Amino acid sequence: MIISIYAFPGYMAWDSVEQLAQARAGQLSNWHPPVMSALWGVFDRIVPGAMLMFLLQNTLFLVGLHVLLRRSLSPWRAAIATLVIFAWPPSLTVMAVIVKDSLMCGALLVACAGITSERRWARISALVAFALAAGLRHNAVAVVVPLLAMLSPWPATRGVWARRGAGAGIGVGLTVCAMLANAALTDVSMHPFHYSVAPMDIVATLNFAPDLTDAEVHELLPGVRFAHPREIQAHARSLYDPNMWWGTLLYGDDRLFDEPNTPELRDGVKTGWLQLIEAYPGAYVANRFHMMREMLGFTDAPWTAVYGTDHERSMLAGTYQPAHKRNVVQRRLSKTLVRYAKTSVTFRPYFYCALLIVLWIVMRRDRLIVALLVSALGYLALLVVISPSPDFRYNHWMIVVVLIGMAIRLLGRPGTGALRDQDHRDHHGADHEPERVPEVGRRPDDE
């Protein structure tokens, strides 16, 4: 009901429009996860549009979150915590948009809920959810592998380190399977690295590098075709902005590069990218530092963490799509949250980074929470290298994980941690029976 009032049938972003168009055309590209586009194509044949995908990502989120919280909280506390976390503005506003990040978050919550269950079928089903999550983002491996390494119940008769090794192996295997599935579903290769990450890195590294002549730039980037071959570094510095859209660098009269639309040009971009980083690693690190600084909210730049009705209308008009009708309640809620996000610390990701560190210290004996926190850090760490832009949605998994930890810390009772007792048995080597999760709302010693 909450999400329906705010956003039903879901906000369409640029990625959403592209994926739905590909699904309807039956020609999938690898710019966006083909597995999501293929799934959307099935849904679109049943009910055209965004509604079923919107319902899927939010249902997975709510069901997975509630079941996971029931591992540590009484039923009514778990229900309240689920609603609060779901309706928390930085979470709600991301889940309102049909994007791979929202679907990935829902799949991960269901996977974590399943892998920590006593039921065999739930644990097996969790692997399907983990595989889906792994196929939705290139850096999802940094989430899937740590979670399975720390939460794997297999092999049940062996110690904790054997289970962690097996879980890590399963995570890597599922990630490879997801990559192969996406490759099999891909009809058109779009070369996202050559069009987004590499051009952004080249411009940013040139910006932070010492002054270079045009001859030195051409020597470092011999295979890159520049739209304006003179005063290249000055042009790059004039274009540099961590928040810029990568397309600005490749299209338009003021572009820096010509489009790398041949294998030879793409090889030149990749080679030049490597040579520039090797020549000026400090400039590359400065580039990535500023990118993460923007993504975590340590910035005075205009902060647009919420994708709302005005953004959707402008995007649809820019792509020659018919505008979606939004009622007055949705328009007002959207504008209110956009304004709130610009000033509230609750929309600043660094706030959740600080809470993550505190939670790790105070809940270090709770294996479930530690696993979630490690996965959030791993996800962010890989973004340091591969992120083409500082989008707020990249922080979504971290925010949800921190909210889960806070809910269990504040509302849980001592002794009800879902995975604490099993680690205690392993540490003392007493036995290695499959973990037995306490019945909801009861302490283990009440049995």
Q: How many other C-beta atoms lie within 10 A of the C-beta of residue 250?
A: 19
Is there a single domain that holds both residue 200 and residue 170? no
Is there a single domain that holds both residue 166 and residue 222? no
Please check whether residue 55 lies inside any domain of the structure: yes
Count how many domains the chain has. Answer: 2
Domain that holds residue 258: 192-292
Positive or negative, the Cα torsion across 393, 397, 398, 404?
positive
Please check whether residue 254 lies inside any domain of the structure: yes
Are 389 and 347 in contact, with CB atoms under 8 Å apart? no
Angstrom distances, CA of residue 195 to CA of 128, 189, 358, 388? 31, 12, 39, 10
For 434, list phi and psi in degrees, rounded to 5: -60, 140
**Could you give the CA distance from residue 421 to residue 236 in angstroms, rounded to a whole number?**
56
Is there a single domain that holds both residue 175 and residue 248? no
Please check whether residue 246 lies inside any domain of the structure: yes
Please check whether residue 95 lies inside any domain of the structure: yes
Which residues, 6 or more positions from 181, have their beta carbon under 8 angstroms from its beta carbon? 34, 35, 131, 135
Is there a single domain that holds both residue 268 and residue 358? no
Beta bridge partners of 188: 29
Is there a single domain that holds both residue 130 and residue 155? yes
Is there a single domain that holds both residue 265 and residue 391? no
Asked which of 292, 321, 354 is the last residue of a domain, the reply is: 292
Please check whether residue 326 lies inside any domain of the structure: no
Is there a single domain that holds both residue 197 and residue 175? no
Q: Is omega for the bond preceding 349 within 30 degrees of 0, making it cis? A: no
Per-residue confidence (pLDDT) for residue 427, from 0 to 100: 40
Mean pLDDT by 10 residues, the chain (447 residues): 89 93 94 95 95 97 97 94 97 96 98 96 96 94 96 92 96 97 95 94 97 96 91 95 89 93 95 97 96 90 85 87 89 94 94 96 94 96 90 96 97 61 42 41 39
Is there a single domain that holds both residue 269 and residue 236? yes
Per-residue confidence (pLDDT) for residue 417, from 0 to 100: 52
Per-residue confidence (pLDDT) for residue 412, from 0 to 100: 86
Please check whether residue 273 lies inside any domain of the structure: yes
Angstrom distances, CA of residue 104 to CA of 70, 135, 136? 21, 9, 6
Residue in this structure with the two tokens 């996800």, named with its chain if needed: 379
Please check whether residue 83 lies inside any domain of the structure: yes
Is there a single domain that holds both residue 29 and residue 131? yes
Is there a single domain that holds both residue 78 and residue 168? yes
Asked which of 248, 275, 292 is the last residue of a domain, the reply is: 292
Q: Which amino acid is at 371?
A: A
Are 56 and 106 in contact, with CB atoms under 8 Å apart? yes
Please check whether residue 445 lies inside any domain of the structure: no
Asked which of 252, 275, 292 is the last residue of a domain, the reply is: 292
Is there a single domain that holds both residue 180 and residue 237? no
**Could you give the CA distance from residue 331 to residue 404 in angstroms, rounded to a whole number?**
29
Is there a single domain that holds both residue 199 and residue 67? no
Are 370 and 409 in contact, with CB atoms under 8 Å apart? no
